[in-house]
C-alpha cells in the first residue's frame, strides 16, 4: 500500500488541491509567474525590454546553476546550466541581428528562426561590420568569439543535446556529452556576456541617434 506523504514535508510532498503553477494578479486576468508583476512595476518606465529580460534571465540562471554545481551540489545541474548557457548565446545573437538589421536597413540574408549558432553568428557579424560598429575590444577578440561559439555549434548544433537524453532516433546521446569545468565555463560565458552587451549598447546608442535625426 502506498503511504501518503506528510503534508508539511516539502521533500515528500505530493500534488494537492492548493497547488498551482501560475497565479493571477489583481491587475491582470492573464496567468503570470509569481513576483513578475512586482518586477514589471519597477521596470514600467525604465529598465530592460522584455527581450532583454528573457535572454539575461537565461544568463542569470546559468550563473546560479553553475555556482551550485561548482559547490558540489546536485551534479544533475550540468544539463540545465549548459542549456541555459547555449540558449542565452542563441537569444543574444538573434537580438543583435534584429538590432543591426534596423540600424543598417538591411534584411537578414537567411532565416533567423533557427537554432544554428554558426549561421546566426555569421549573419550578426555581417550586419555589425556593415554598420562599422564593433566594440572597442582587444585584438583577436572576434577570432575568440567565433571559436567559442563554434564549440556550442559543434557540440549541440540544433539545441537538443542538453535537453534530451536521446536523439530523434531514440539513441542515447551520452557518448556526445562534452567534459565541462565549472570555473572555466563561467569565465568563458562572462566574456561572451561582456562582448554581447558591448555590441548591444553601441548598436542601441547609434540607433537612438538615427531615430533622433530622422525625427528632427
Q: What is the domain partition of the chain in residue ranges?
A: 47-215
Q: What is the pLDDT of residues 46-92, one digit of tens each?
A: 455 778 888 999 999 999 999 999 998 678 898 999 999 999 999 99
> Given pLDDT bands bounded at 50, 70 and 90, which one contains residue 151?
very high
Q: Tell me which of 104-113, 132-141, 143-152, 207-216 is least confident.
A: 132-141
pTM of the model: 0.81
Place of cell 533567423: 112
Q: Would you state the pLDDT for residue 199?
A: 92
The per-residue pLDDT for 20 is 80
Across 167-188, average pLDDT: 84
Amino acid at each position: 500500500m502506498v503511504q501518503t506523504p506528510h503534508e508539511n514535508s516539502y521533500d515528500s510532498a505530493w500534488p494537492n488541491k492548493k497547488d498551482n503553477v501560475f497565479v493571477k494578479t489583481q491587475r491582470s486576468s492573464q496567468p503570470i509567474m509569481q513576483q513578475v508583476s512586482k518586477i514589471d512595476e519597477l521596470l514600467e518606465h525604465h529598465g530592460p525590454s522584455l527581450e532583454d529580460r528573457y535572454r539575461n534571465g537565461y544568463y542569470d540562471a546559468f550563473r546560479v546553476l553553475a555556482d551550485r554545481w561548482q559547490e558540489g551540489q546536485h551534479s544533475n545541474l550540468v544539463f540545465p546550466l549548459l542549456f541555459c548557457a547555449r540558449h542565452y548565446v542563441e537569444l543574444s545573437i538573434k537580438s543583435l541581428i534584429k538590432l543591426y538589421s534596423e540600424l543598417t536597413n538591411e534584411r537578414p540574408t537567411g532565416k533567423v528562426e533557427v537554432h544554428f549558432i554558426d549561421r546566426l553568428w555569421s549573419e550578426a557579424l555581417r550586419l555589425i561590420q556593415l554598420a562599422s560598429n564593433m566594440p572597442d575590444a582587444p585584438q583577436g577578440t572576434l577570432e575568440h568569439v567565433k571559436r567559442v561559439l563554434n564549440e556550442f555549434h559543434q557540440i549541440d548544433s540544433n539545441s537538443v543535446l542538453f535537453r534530451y537524453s536521446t536523439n530523434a532516433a531514440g539513441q542515447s546521446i551520452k557518448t556526445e556529452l562534452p567534459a565541462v569545468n565549472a570555473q572555466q565555463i563561467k569565465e568563458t560565458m562572462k566574456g561572451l556576456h561582456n562582448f554581447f552587451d558591448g555590441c548591444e549598447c553601441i548598436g542601441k546608442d547609434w540607433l537612438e541617434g538615427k531615430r533622433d535625426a530622422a525625427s528632427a
